[in-house]
Amino acid sequence: MNIKKVAVLLVIVALVVSIPLANKKFGSSNEKLILVTTLTDRVIRPSILASGSLTHEEEVRLSSEVIGKVTKIYVEEGDSVDIGQLVLQVDDQNFVAAFEQSEAQVRLSRIDIERQQTRIVNLELQWGRKKSLFEQEMVGEDEFEALTNQLDLVRIDLKSSIERLRQAEAQLEQASDRLRKTQIKSPISGVVTSLDIKVGETAIASSTNIPGSSLMTIANPSSIYIEVLVDEADVASIALGQSAEIVAIAYTNTPMQGVVRFIANTAKVEQGRQGLSFTVKIKITEANDVVLRPGMSCRAEIFTGGNNAVPAVPIQAILVDEDRTLARPQYYAFVNDNGVAVKVIVEVGVSDDEYQEIISGLKIGDDVITGPDNILRHLVDGDSVDLEVES
């Protein structure tokens, strides 16, 4: 009998001890284990990613304005040149001949004018004498009028000769201009980045990309910048003077610093991209020992926000009300109020990869629930929670 009583007593004690343990182990308690973070001021730097390539702002592709065989190239690829320096010579034999012919024509025109002027002087003297004799009725009227007409015609011939001189001088200027164009000179100071023609090949006066139309390319190495394409959905956030971090594909571990200096006014459709894009040019302010070469593929992160600290919480703490009847999305978060989850409607601002700005709804020092996600997504206003402070 005593043994039975002892056995019953042990069973009762075991039940008293095991029931709370089972409740704790199998979650019969309504309390949910959560992570929280305190709302504080943080610096948020929202950014936009864009891709592009390095290019020269001051770059010229030289082409010939006359057709002729290249007789001399005075530079090689990689050479530095000064503005106005002779870099290439086109065969000028025919142009020299045309220039000399035009010069001769100008000289002939001037000689003809001198002859006309001398003849006018002689005829004016004759006309003066004839007029005196005519007034004395010693010369007939027909003879005097014939001399007058001859003088008038010579004066008209002089005007014609003067116009022919002007025409010859214009032709001489054209011949001189074509002759000058056989000497290709650099319009800027820079470096020869490419040499596209050889001695003996024919330079062609053309803007199309055919052999001989491009002679060489000269660029100013100090004018290199990055040109990226920004989607039309993001271009409204871009402004002149915003800072950017640039990474060249060849130097992934060496980011460069830059500043936005140009935003295109007109969108364009780029081959291989969907939708419209805007060209944005970024000036490189710190190259950080990167060897810059035009054409390098780059990725730029343009920071669209300032460096001011604002109230912010981790992005995962902000939830969105999926009620489609609302005019706009409604954002909310849960605050731990002495072990109770309290739902708070919030107004959000800018964000980066980690944090979301809180404009209203929360105050500095609030303990905002940040997870775990499987619990946070199913929290209801008024749920009991068990606190675990997030480090």
**What letter does residue 384 receive in the DSSP assignment?**
B
H/E element holding 131? helix 93-135
H/E element holding 230? strand 224-231
Give the predicted TM-score (pTM) of the model: 0.56
pLDDT at 14: 56
CATH class of the domain whose range is 29-44+309-389: mainly beta
Print pLDDT tens along the chain (391 aa): 456 555 555 555 555 545 444 444 444 446 678 888 888 888 777 788 888 888 888 888 898 888 999 999 999 998 999 999 999 999 999 999 999 999 999 999 999 999 999 999 998 888 888 888 888 878 788 888 888 898 899 999 999 999 999 999 999 999 999 999 999 999 999 999 889 889 999 888 765 566 557 889 998 888 888 999 988 888 888 889 888 999 988 888 888 999 999 998 888 887 766 778 899 999 988 888 888 888 888 999 888 876 678 888 888 888 887 666 666 788 888 888 888 888 888 888 877 778 888 888 888 888 888 878 888 888 888 888 876 654 4
Distances (CA, A) of 348 to 235, 250, 320, 330, 337: 21, 38, 11, 10, 21
State how far the Cα of 75 lies from the Cα of 212, in Å rounded to an integer.
17
144 contacts 134 by C-beta, under 8 angstroms: yes
State how far the Cα of 352 lies from the Cα of 39, in Å rounded to an integer.
16
State how far the Cα of 51 lies from the Cα of 295, in Å rounded to an integer.
12
State how far the Cα of 80 lies from the Cα of 218, in Å rounded to an integer.
9
State how far the Cα of 129 lies from the Cα of 139, in Å rounded to an integer.
10
CATH topology for 63-91+182-218?
Answer: OB fold (Dihydrolipoamide Acetyltransferase, E2P) (2.40.50)
Asked, colleague to colleague, whether 48-56+221-303 and 63-91+182-218 share their fold, the answer is: no
Q: Where are the domains of the chain?
A: 29-44+309-389, 48-56+221-303, 63-91+182-218, 93-180
pLDDT at 383: 84
Q: Which two tokens stand for residue 334?
A: 């849960």
Of 322, 316, 321, 366, the residue nearest 341 (C-alpha) = 366
State how far the Cα of 243 lies from the Cα of 259, in Å rounded to an integer.
5
**CATH match of 48-56+221-303 with 2.40.30.170:** yes
State how far the Cα of 188 lies from the Cα of 99, in Å rounded to an integer.
28
